[in-house]
Structure 1
């Protein structure tokens, strides 16, 4: 753990600190004050903010983050490097190992075992982004749309899900949602992924496919234009755009034929 009170080393603060919390328990004559040691994970952001987050009983950072100043940190908290090295780091390593194992099981088609491992990971950290996506993908692989919808709602509330490194998870989930016929949810996932990476031509292409299946041909064409703007040599997007153009021309031709037939029938009836 790095604890640099005067910033002499140039390293940011990062590690576990402890503080004492006083809780009142009991009633009446049995009422008493109990001191409890509380551990928090503290990390200094690039902007200099001191962000602290409580540790769970399993020594995983969990719960609401709050920003404190440097003076408060060193006045109210005590460094706990033993907790950081002997408990928190091993707990995080075990958590990531569980998620890795769950993803391998899903890739191998062992979907019920994968679900079990993803849930084990989420019991340790209910806000774990990869585990949440993995569980949702597992439900979609099994055709369980209701379970996937529940996970979709959970992911939409995860603040950590909006980190740029999770763009590919939104994309993969979007593909699975589209193939499962959950087009609105797929569209929302692609839109979130594009907010993380506006220059990814593949995201625009995948969103175009979803919009096309929703019957929104004009919007799909706009997304393909955006994809081709970012990668001119994108044959799939070019072919798809040509297909949409042909389909639009066919629709115009059919509409014109129907209108002509209507006008002919109206003329025979003496209308118009």
Structure 2
């Protein structure tokens, strides 16, 4: 294992960035932000047509992978056989994730729970584990996990979604402990309310319900989150951002709930 040394204040340009969930709102914003500085991109997602459209839009070298992060064997195969020029992934952005439903735990759909755990947690660790050995061997790398404020601040109906993002937070911090001295950085970016198709997915296509989430307020945008990720990833390599929690100005913390008999 070799450890790289850098000028203390030199900005960093990741040579190759791999983004999971690349066909969603966050994924597209991340891809455009890193393409703007000429990083090579590996875009992983489940929808081939959207991957192609994004690839054709970007003015940089792009390799696409049609894959579901829940499929451990497929991830190991795809990430282990990246073509020359894309095989030294420097920055992994674990972005694939979702929320499903807002029913209380006693009424929640177990299939929804399983899908969230498989995607938000198991998929994230499959992708991370596939690329870590190469990063460590090269003495450089950065794992950027997309967490959520839900991982710190639970809310009614959040149950497994909140728990899955708490896992992402603790996994990120534990990675930092394991990777000390390797030259590999780890960052958990934790957005609050952001207007994407997140709520449309959560409410399984119910546009009216999804729209109410963002009504009469000013949420963050995918570009806002992309700027936060880009900032953390382009800092000099001696500088690690452990956690970056971001919210729109219109959002804050609620009071603790108290049940009253009258």
What TM-score do you get using the length of structure 2 for normalisation? 0.28
Q: TM-score normalized by structure 1?
A: 0.27
Q: Which has the higher helix share?
A: 1
